[in-house]
Amino acid sequence: MDESKYIQLLDEAYKQLPEVVYKKQRFEVPQVSGRIIKSRTVITNFREIAKHLGREESHFLRFMLKEVGVRGECNDKGDLTLHSRFQPAMLNKAVSSYFLKYVQCPHCNSPDTIITNENSILKCNACGHQEKITRI
């Protein structure tokens, strides 16, 4: 398969993802929206995902870059550009992993939590549980 065909196919994978719906009632971990531009992957709803998870963009960004193992940067609009090509499934897996480690309460599973103490404690607003977390 030639290079441009490959990029086209990978980009198609993003177009085929269902539209992201942010529901209020039942919490769902957001899926990435994005596209492939040459040798990069742009996540176009990075800011929305951070907001939906109730986390600082900088914290979420550090995790994502570490998880996928490449460099990347956020622009003013909140798009995240990663310096490699990724399948959507891999990025969604990274988002889920962030959710499990840094958002969801390990005690009652509520997503209604905050991070305090210089990013070292995950505190649950629902049950009051406090969990020590690893700094990224």
Q: Which residues bind Zn ion (CB under 5 A)?
A: 105, 107-108, 110, 124, 126-127, 129
Q: Minimum CB separation from Zn ion for residue 77, in Å?
A: 34
- Are the CB atoms for 43 and 32 separated by under 8 Å? yes
Beta strand 130-132 with 121-124 is antiparallel
Interatomic CA distance for residues 65 and 24, integer angstroms: 28
Nearer to Zn ion, 65 or 124 (CB): 124
Which residue number, 9 or 108, has a Cβ lying nearer to Zn ion?
108
Q: How far is the CB of 112 from Zn ion (least distance, A)?
A: 8
**Shortest CB 109 distance to Zn ion, Å:** 7
Nearer to Zn ion by Cβ, of 36 and 124: the residue is: 124
* CA 105 from centre of chain: 17
Min separation Cβ 41 and Zn ion, Å: 34
- Closest to Zn ion by CB, 33 vs 104, is 104
Closer residue to Zn ion (CB): 20 or 121: 121
For residue 64, give the nearest of 91, 41, 37, 89 by alpha carbon.
Answer: 91
Smallest separation, CB 114 to Zn ion (Å): 11
Would you state the structure tokens that stand for residue 73, as one six-digit string? 């940067």
